[in-house]
Structure 1
C-alpha cells in the first residue's frame, strides 16, 4: 500500500519511501516560472491567515512568490526541503491544514502532491509562495486525506524555510598525496571510487575534494549527508545513501570515530574523502557487510545542518 507524505498530524498519514517524479530544473537552467493568472488576486495572505474573496477553481496549477528568499535554490527534485504550509479548500474557503513538515525530498512530495513540486521548482529558501493547485495535481489519496471534494481546487501557501543542497557544490581542491583513492562523479553527484593497487594507509587520512562556503560542522547539530562507503581490500560498496535514494541525518556521536573526525570542522557544501583505518572504524569485529579488520573509504557530501529541536 502506498502512503502519502505527512504534511501534519491533521492529515494523519506517515511519510512514504522515496520515489521518483519528473525532474526539476538543472542548476544551470533554473529559471523561476511566472504565473499570470487573475485567480491569484482572490487569495489574501496575512500572517498565518489565508482568505479567499471568491471560490478558486483552476485547470492548471498557478502560483506567485509573495516574498522571494535569498537562500539556496531548489534545482533538483532530489533536494531535501522543509516548509510550513497552509492548505485551504478553494471551493469553501475552509482551512484544511496549517502545519510544518519534516525534512523530505521534493520528489517525495511530488508523488502525491504534484502541485507542491511545481510550486517549489526553482524556488529559493526564505520564499513565501501562494498558489492555486488544480485537482489533477493532487493524487486521489491526497485529496481524500485533505477532505477535498471531487473537482475541488486547493490553495496552498508555502513558507519555504530550508533548502538543502542536492550534492556538494564547493570549489574543487587540489590534493597531491600519492596512493589515495580516486573519485569520479556522475552528473547528479553520485560518486564512484577507484581504490589504488597499494596498501591502505594505517592512519586516518582526510582530504577535502570540494570546499564549501556554508556553516561549519561542530557536532552541535545533526549533519545531513550523502555518502558512499567502500572497503579498501574488497573494493566493494557496503553502504550508500545515493543507492538508497535518500540523504542521511547523522550526529557525530552516532558514527565511527574516523567518520566523526573527518566531518568535524568541515563546511556545508564540501565533499570529503576519508580513509579510515580499522581502529577508528569497526575494528577486528567488523559489522554487517564490513568484514573484520577492514579499512574503509568514504566519499561524503555535506548537504546541510538540521535545525536543533526545541
Structure 2
C-alpha cells in the first residue's frame, strides 16, 4: 500500500443539471499499480449528494481507509475505478442507475445522483 499524505478533499457544489451517465474526472493521476475490474482496492473517499451538496459518507471522517473488492461496490465504482493508478485522486459523478437505483428502491440514497472523490491507496 502506498502512503499518500493528503487531506480530505472539498467537493465544490456542482453547476447545472445532474448527468445521465457516469462522469469520471482524474484530479490527480497516480503513478502506482493500476486497478483492474477484479481488484480489491484500498481507498479514502468522500461522498456528497449532487442536488444538495450534503456529505453522506466519508472514510476521512472515520480517519481510516477502506478495503473493498470492486465487485461488491455500486456499479459507478465498478466502472469508474478500473484504470485508476495508486496515488491517484478521481472524481466520479454517479447517476442513480449506477448508484443505489431509482427512487423507492429501498436505500436512503436511491433516486439520487452522487459525487465521490476517491484516493486510491492500494490494489490487490
Q: Which sits farther off after the overlay, 261-270 or 215-224?
A: 215-224
Q: Distance in 2 between matches of 1:212 and 1:164?
A: 11
Q: Distance in 1 between matches of 2:72 and 2:11?
A: 24
- Quote how far apart the aligned CAs of 1:287 are: 2.1
Q: Is the 8 A contact 2:43 2:65 kept in 1?
A: yes
Q: Distance in 2 between matches of 1:241 and 1:218?
A: 22
Q: Distance in 2 between matches of 1:200 and 1:286?
A: 21
TM-score, normalization: structure 1?
0.38
Q: Is the 8 A contact 1:219 1:251 kept in 2?
A: no
For residues 196 and 220 of structure 1, do their structure 2 counterparts lie closer, same or farther at Cα, with a shift above 3 Å needed? Answer: closer
Aligned 1:83-98 pairs, distance under 5 A:
none
SS in 2 for 1:282: coil
Q: Is the 8 A contact 1:228 1:240 kept in 2?
A: yes
Runs of 4+ off more than 6 Å: none
- Quote how far apart the aligned CAs of 1:166 are: 2.9
Radius of gyration: which is bigger?
Answer: 1
RMSD: 1.5
Q: Distance in 1 between matches of 2:94 and 2:37?
A: 19
Aligned residues: 122
Q: Which has the higher contact order (CA 8 A, sep 6+)?
A: 2
Aligned 1:145-160 pairs, distance under 5 A:
none
Corresponding residue of 2:100: 282
For residues 264 and 258 of structure 1, do their structure 2 counterparts lie closer, same or farther at Cα, with a shift above 3 Å needed? Answer: same
Q: Is the 8 A contact 2:2 2:87 kept in 1?
A: no
Aligned 1:34-53 pairs, distance under 5 A:
none
Corresponding residue of 1:269: 87
Q: Alignment partner for residue 58 of structure 2, among 240, 255, 263? A: 240
Corresponding residue of 1:165: 3
Aligned 1:113-128 pairs, distance under 5 A:
none
Aligned 1:101-250 pairs, distance under 5 A:
163-167=1-5, 188-250=6-68
Q: Distance in 2 between matches of 1:198 and 1:295?
A: 13
For residues 207 and 268 of structure 1, do their structure 2 counterparts lie closer, same or farther at Cα, with a shift above 3 Å needed? Answer: same
Q: Is the 8 A contact 2:4 2:87 kept in 1?
A: no
- Quote how far apart the aligned CAs of 1:276 are: 0.5
Q: Is the 8 A contact 1:224 1:302 kept in 2?
A: yes
- Quote how far apart the aligned CAs of 1:281 are: 0.6
Q: Which runs of 5+ in 1 are unaligned?
A: 1-162, 168-187
- Quote how far apart the aligned CAs of 1:219 are: 3.4
